[in-house]
Amino acid sequence: MKITITKLRWSLAIALCFIFCAGSLSAEPLELKSPNGELKISIELKDKISYNISYGQDELLKNCSLQLDLQNESLGMNPKLQSKKVFTINETLKPTIPFKNATVKNNCNVLLLNFENNFSIEFRAYNDGVAYRFITRKKGEAIVLNEDFGIQFPTTYLSHLSFTGSFRSPYEHPYSHVKTTDYKENDRMTVLPVLLETDKQYKILISEADLLDYPCMFLKSTGNNGMKSAFPKYPLEFGDDGDRSLKITKEADYIAKTSGTRSFPWRFFVITKEDKQLVENDMVFKLSRPNVLGDISWVKPGQVSWDWWNATFSPYGVDFKSGINTATYKYYVDFASKFGIPYIILDEGWSKTTRDPFNANPDLNLPELIQYAKEKNVKLILWLSWLTVENNFDLFKKYSEWGISGVKIDFMNRSDQWMVNYYERVAKEAAKYKMFVDFHGAFKPAGMERAYPNILSQEGVLGLEQGGNCKPDNSIFLPFIRNAVGPMDFTPGAMINMQPEVYQAARPNNAGVGTRVNQLSMFVIFESGLQMLADNPTLYYRERECTDFITSVPVTWDETKVLYAKVGEAVVVAKRKGDKWFFGGMTNSQNRTIELSFDFLPQGKEFTLTSFEDGINADRQALDYKKKTISINSNTKLTIKMERNGGWAGSLK
């Protein structure tokens, strides 16, 4: 009996010790700081997991919540911490497709929290932001009912939001600029990314990374100076909805059915007091999984001559009847060949019907065009609706046999788990046949383009194809928000330019709002692995010196520096490819004068700067510009002036 009592007492002591130790482990303060010590995440484990984010002494986000609701349990509810691990990542990465820089410094401190019930939460603190993700180790499948991402603001912030009325979205809505205390619970939700401006001049960019086999996250108001997540449900049944879409007729009660052992998408915040860091950031790349395709030397980013915006039938002063026909596309090929543009795209109308991806319209001899383009060292890209691709998934093999280099896939307009998986299936299948993809009608990039580098661009932006609705007052936010998370198919290059109050344009004589130089600057500022020249080749021939500049601009870069940045007002960037620098600046509807320093150039050397600036009358006649050539060095201070809705562009030898 004594032995039994002793054993019971010993067992009880061990149990009490375990409970005490586990309680102590959960109760102890959990903090993670950035390598420079400025940014801090403070984590609290009670009935739920909450965290605060501060910069120095300034609290930026408070009482933020996170939770992953599975079918039979809620990960994060009454958490029991088993262990924690703190370590540092300090490495240099080399992007396979360098949209910004040939090398990326990945330096952060990591806190890995391991909980009972086979899940972990990983936090990372960078000098320019913080991130977290769930990691699960469950057997079989996991059914995710919901994910809680909740953030609270200590004071009123200004939010820059792209509202959408439903989960079916073209992701092309203009930015709305709303005080967080005015954002009501019954207001529309917003797509990511979202940008916040605090009362102390901090900027917080919110988005997600490493998004695979999971739906995109949306945000909506909590109604109490905060935001919370919203996710589209998994679609179960579909109905007919025309030639380029399907209607969802039945949804599941869950948002994802996925592997029980996996890492979930990162939720991240780029945080800075320097607006230029938003433009320069590589957060999505750093957080996303590396290339899974192996050798991708066959992926060739480049510029594209595009037909849709200028209506294909717009060439004039020619000796053929222009239209969606062989002669017109040969004209595009000749134009591309003359200016060293590697691709032309055949947009909607090239095929006999939008449902038939294998037969061209009767006016187009596609085999003849492919051969003609090959002789001119130009390759073809074909437009397709996503539904046509889904119904003809063998087209990648066939197109590869034809000699087609890539596809532009359009009108997905959804981001539920099924559709996110569709993107991945397409990228995989295209890669089998060494083809690249441009996703139009798409959500924003969220890391899939790093895993699958044959995804060269995605739309998800109010771009030039929107004509008069595409205004510089909205486009100036793109380097700080949408383009800050990945490549963007904006389709710049308008050679007819108008100020907004006199704008009147339509295909075949489409026009861009803003000045000519505003358009030129986009080729340097905006990042895209397929950068389209949207206008009519006839106009590019006529505007030769502008075309020479545009077609000299690379689409991948060795180095990116921001020389001036003010969210919503203006940006000036310098980008290097090899030993050549390119410059792009743009402003909103206000003119402004900016002094630039070239102290990043090698000392003791003279350079020739060829620049394009807004003409003296560009504030009224947006076509007006002036080309200049001057000598500069590392000591030069150059004052540039941009007229309203204007820009500045140049290159350095």
Residues carrying an active site annotation: 410, 465
Other beta carbons within 10 Å of 367: 10
How far is it, in rounded angstroms, from Cα 520 to Cα 493?
7
Residue 289 has which token pair? 């999984």
Question: Across 431-502, where does the E strand assignment appear?
Answer: 436-439, 455-458, 497-498
Q: Which residues pair with 539 in a beta bridge?
A: none
What secondary structure does DSSP assign to 311-372, as a single string?
TSS---SSSS--SSSHHHHHHHHHHHHHHT--EEEE-TTSBSSTT-SS-B-TT--HHHHHHH
The pair phi, psi for residue 642, each rounded to 5°, is -115, 125
Helix (H) / strand (E) containing 583: strand 580-587
Three-state secondary structure of 109-162: EEEEEEECCCEEEEEEEECCEEEEEEEEEEEEEEEEEEEEEEEECCCCCEEEEE
Q: Of 549, 646, 527, which is closest to residue 98 (Cα–Cα)?
A: 527
51: amino acid identity, one letter? Y
Q: Which residues pair with 650 in a beta bridge?
A: 583, 611
Task: Cite the DSSP H helix spans in 190-303.
Answer: 275-280, 283-287
Q: What residues have CB less than 8 Å from 194, skipping those under 6 apart?
A: 159, 160, 161, 205, 206, 207, 219, 227, 481
Q: Of 523, 449, 527, 423, which is closest to residue 484 (Cα–Cα)?
A: 527
Q: What's the number of CA atoms in the CB half-sphere (13 Å) around residue 214?
A: 28
502: amino acid identity, one letter? V
Task: Cite the DSSP H helix spans in 392-433.
Answer: 395-402, 417-432
Whether 340 contacts 379, CB under 8 Å: no
What are the angstrom distances between the C-alpha of 203 and each of 157, 199, 567?
A: 10, 10, 9
Q: What residues have CB less than 8 Å from 175, skipping those under 6 apart?
A: 160, 161, 162, 474, 477, 481
Other beta carbons within 10 Å of 36: 11
